[in-house]
Amino acid sequence: MPTIEVHPDELRDLTNHPERKDHEFRDDLFALGLEFEGETEDGAFELEFAPDRLDRLSVEGVARSLRYQYGTDRGVYVPDTNDAEWTIRVDGDVPDQRPYVTGAVVRGLDLDESALESLIQLQEKLHATMGRQRAKGAIGVHDLTMLKGATADTEEADSTEEEAADPHIETPAAGGEKSVRYTGIGPREDRFVPLDSDIEMRPIEVLNGHPTADEYSDLVDEYDLMPAIYDDIGMFSFPPIINGKRTEVTTDSRDLFIEMTGTDQWTIDHMLSIVCYALDARGGRVEEVAVEYAGGTSSTEPSVADAPEDADDAAGTNSGEPSVAGAPEDAAGECAGQRLVRPDFSTKTKTVAHDAVESTLGVDLDGEEVVDLVERSGLDAETRETVDRGATGDGDDANEDGATGGLRYEVEIPPYRVDVRHPVDVVDDIGRAFGFNELEPRYPDVSTVGGRHQRSRLEGGVRDALVGLGFEDLLNFHLIGEDENFDRPGVERPERSSGDGANGDSGEPGAAVFGGGDPAVIGEPYSDDYEIVRTWALPSVLLVLENNTHRAYPQDLAEVGFSAYRDDDEPTKVAERRTVAAALARSEASYEDARSRLQALCRVFDVDLETPPTEHPTFIDGRTAEVVIDGESAGVIGEVHPRVLVEHDLELPVAAFEFELDALR
């Protein structure tokens, strides 16, 4: 899980609790669901953040949650905004693959090194999570004083049609507003000085020669036109790759211009809300920015206050403004012709039944207590008493969780809470405000008492045996990126199918090797690191080795974990299994070392082991064998291929094996 760095001195300052000790902060943060992972050399906490609470990717967001926990703040806070002085004009030349943009101005900041580092960290973490490594949304932050926007009062106000169509000439905005232009240009069409450079470069030169582009150039490689943002001086941003040096933000910057481009309006609008709330906590004054999309005939669109059912396929707008005319052609995307005003700080509501709160948490609460807990969670609530009309078939009073009648709450959700999608999310907040440690455990009111499942007992026995053989037990996430599961271990990605295909030695339909099955894909993963359910556990073990090259060797690691692959023969269309994966990383690790430990493990469970030669792309040819237990093919064992070791930055040999847990029954 990714981590963020938060210094306790910053927390003392932003929460206005200078008396708070470090260990007290650690306890408070744990109650919020933020686990302490260690400290940096300068004493900053390394916190493992929950993927659902993206508003806590900065020290400002963490401090906000603590203020609610301490009772210093209550209810929904929406920053005041000044009227828009700046406009982002979206041309019809903008690449179809990246048609959406949003923005805001924040004035009056006093950025010290800590505040600037926090802003950069928030930008990077939002890119990695909600922005999908900048593919879905990218953030550009600029020094506003270095921008020159065209206004209707300038001498250039009467522009010709040729000037209006030229992306290098910023035509004036109406009404005296200053404007910048989001457009598309050819890869060799214009020059600008990017960050970390002192020379002018064309977009194609940035992609081929700038170190930042090494990681992100694939996002625009297939574009015919490159995304670019211009002011009255020239190009100052090349999203999603890099900003221009002219507008670089430093500790001397007081006013900031924030622009975000992406493939989905809802995503970048909510990323913008999170950034604006963080800067508001630093004393900044948020100012609106108008976004004018060229062309189109429609003047209104649905609101984006609520996330669309498929955020990748729906942009959504919140406009109500007349369509924008005068551009050479319509802008791409669903916002063509719209004039938006951003940031969008509109709130949304969720209806929560009182019975659902009590039954989920297992405590008795009155209405006033629930409202108090809701407000301490940074939300607002109004109570409503409704009549149960279920018998008459009148569903108007039904709650979002299906309940009808009784006491319920209309809960207001602030714009930075992108995680609240269902009433149970509100109940979770109420439980945290109440204190999960305050809940008293009790036996359920049933006639039987549960016990450990046979599979669970088997897993426990295997773990004990592996620890006895010198392995360190691991517990990894079941979700993984496709690159980590297939490409980096050298396993060919299967063609996306329904699961049909010939059975290979792995026993997985359509797979030629162990771990090569057709994966169960997450529809909308929050990060590229969690795209699929892993088809085997060894890639997770290799990742742990990769992340611990600074630790002492030998490192003998093992995991008994969950994996799955698609299979049409299963009622759920997904075959689930538990596997045993182990790796020995040491200077003289060999096939024989792994084979001897696997043999010892099989003896513990009184099963017969055979290891006939086989081939597997993760392992070295001639040093690889199939794991056959009691006559049934169960897995693979061998010495990890040097190519895979290099891919994971491992400098020592690694011998490993993985097989299905059920083979030991």
Per-residue confidence (pLDDT) for residue 496, from 0 to 100 = 62
For residues 294 and 90, the answer to whether their CB atoms sit within 8 Å is: yes
The 10s digit of each residue's pLDDT in 159-199 is 445 544 554 444 454 556 799 999 999 999 999 999 999 99
- β-partners of residue 561 are 579
Per-residue confidence (pLDDT) for residue 57, from 0 to 100 = 93
CB-neighbour burial class of residue 442 (10 A; exposed 0-12, middle 13-18, buried 19+): exposed
Per-residue confidence (pLDDT) for residue 388, from 0 to 100 = 57
Per-residue confidence (pLDDT) for residue 505, from 0 to 100 = 45
Q: State the DSSP string of 469-485.
A: TTPEEE---SEE-HIII
Per-residue confidence (pLDDT) for residue 529, from 0 to 100 = 87
Per-residue confidence (pLDDT) for residue 494, from 0 to 100 = 86
Could you tell me the CA-to-CA distances from 181 to 67, 190, 533 in Å, in that order?
40, 15, 42
User: For 3-70, CATH number?
Assistant: 3.30.56.10
For residues 630 and 554, the answer to whether their CB atoms sit within 8 Å is: no
Per-residue confidence (pLDDT) for residue 154, from 0 to 100 = 42
Per-residue confidence (pLDDT) for residue 300, from 0 to 100 = 40
Per-residue confidence (pLDDT) for residue 509, from 0 to 100 = 56
Token pair 């970390």: residue: 196
Which regions of the chain are under pLDDT 50?
A: 153-160, 163-164, 167-171, 173, 297-328, 390-397, 498-506
User: For 454-664, CATH number?
Assistant: 3.30.930.10
Handedness of CA 591, 597, 598, 602 (dihedral sign): positive
User: For 81-342, CATH number?
Assistant: 3.50.40.10
Per-residue confidence (pLDDT) for residue 444, from 0 to 100 = 75
CA distance 304 to 281: 24
Q: How is the chain split into domains, by residue range?
A: 3-70, 81-342, 360-408+421-438, 454-664
CA distance 182 to 101: 8
Per-residue confidence (pLDDT) for residue 269, from 0 to 100 = 97
CA distance 269 to 275: 10
